[in-house]
Amino acid sequence: MLTIRTLAKAYPTPQGPLAVLRGLDLDVGAGQSLSLMGESGSGKSTLLHLVAGLDSADGGSIHVGETDITRLDDAGRAALRRQRIGLVFQQFNLIPSLTVAANLAFQARIAGRHDPAWQNTLADRLGLTDLQDRYPEQLSGGQQQRVAIGRTFAMRPDLILADEPTGNLDEESGDAVMHLALNLVAQTGCTFLMVTHSARLAGMLDRQVTLVQGRLA
């Protein structure tokens, strides 16, 4: 599902280009979950942003299925995100003026795949059934992150990218959210790539890899 070859990315600094990714190769199979670890500055979030099409690479290729993201323009990358890639971040990024139900439906409606029955199933699996008329400010952090995860799965993406998705939660809430997310990954067969600093959370996934100075260790 995800194939990365010789991926390179550098950022300009007053001292010259700072290489963040240095010819990285990575394969993640369909339906597989993989955790990406590494120290701050190792390139984890940069890699996730490149795969999501939020930034452009300096070299190499990123294939989601048969599509090479690096050959798409901004509009093409946005369309790919809208249709095939789900994003979950440390910040919940819910829309405060929308109810839980409307937040859950938001991305699926944009993708043209809103399915009320699937949304109700997700709400039930995530313990949100009785909260759908509430607004984000009326929810705990764990509940908000469950809404964010449900919103992502509601669009039925091929690939989900998660950047420290439990970083704002206590350990108990974070573990509960991760178990729910991974159960949904198993149910839907999507591919799941997560950046985390936690070896404990990383161990919940199928595979673990570590980035060191822009390459896999």
Q: Report DSSP letters for 163-180, one per residue.
A: ESTTTTS-HHHHHHHHHH
What is the predicted pLDDT for the residue at 217? 80
Strand 159-163 to 2-11 pairing:
unpaired
What is the predicted pLDDT for the residue at 130? 96
What is the predicted pLDDT for the residue at 47? 95
> Residue 151: CB partners within 8 Å, gap ≥ 6?
94, 103, 104, 105, 106, 107, 108
Q: How far is CA 150 from each of CA 28, 71, 75, rounded to the nearest angstrom?
A: 22, 30, 25
Answer whether residue 177 shows pLDDT above 90.
no
Strand (E) or helix (H) holding 20: strand 18-28
What is the predicted pLDDT for the residue at 137? 96
What is the predicted pLDDT for the residue at 168? 82
pLDDT one-digit tens code per residue, 60-111: 999 999 999 999 999 999 999 999 999 998 888 999 999 999 999 999 999 9
CA 7 to chain centroid, in Å, comes to 19
pTM given for the model: 0.92
Average pLDDT estimate for 103-131: 95
Which one, of 178, 113, 185, lies nearest residue 146 by Cα? 178
37, amino acid identity: M
Domains, the chain: 31-56+82-216 (3.40.50.300)
What is the predicted pLDDT for the residue at 91? 86
Q: Structure tokens of 141?
A: 């952090």
H-assigned helices in 112-198: 116-125, 141-154, 171-188
pLDDT tier at 5, thresholds 50, 70, 90: very high
> Taking all residues of the chain, what is their mean pLDDT, rounded to a whole number?
93
Length of the chain: 217
Answer whether residue 41 shows pLDDT above 90.
no
Q: Structure tokens of 179?
A: 């178990």
What is the predicted pLDDT for the residue at 56? 93
Which one, of 93, 99, 65, 101, lies nearest residue 191 by Cα? 65
CA dihedral of 127, 83, 55, 142, whole degrees rounded to 10: 0
Strand 33-37 to 215-216 pairing:
unpaired
pLDDT above 70 covers a percentage of the chain that reads 100
Answer whether residue 12 shows pLDDT above 90.
yes
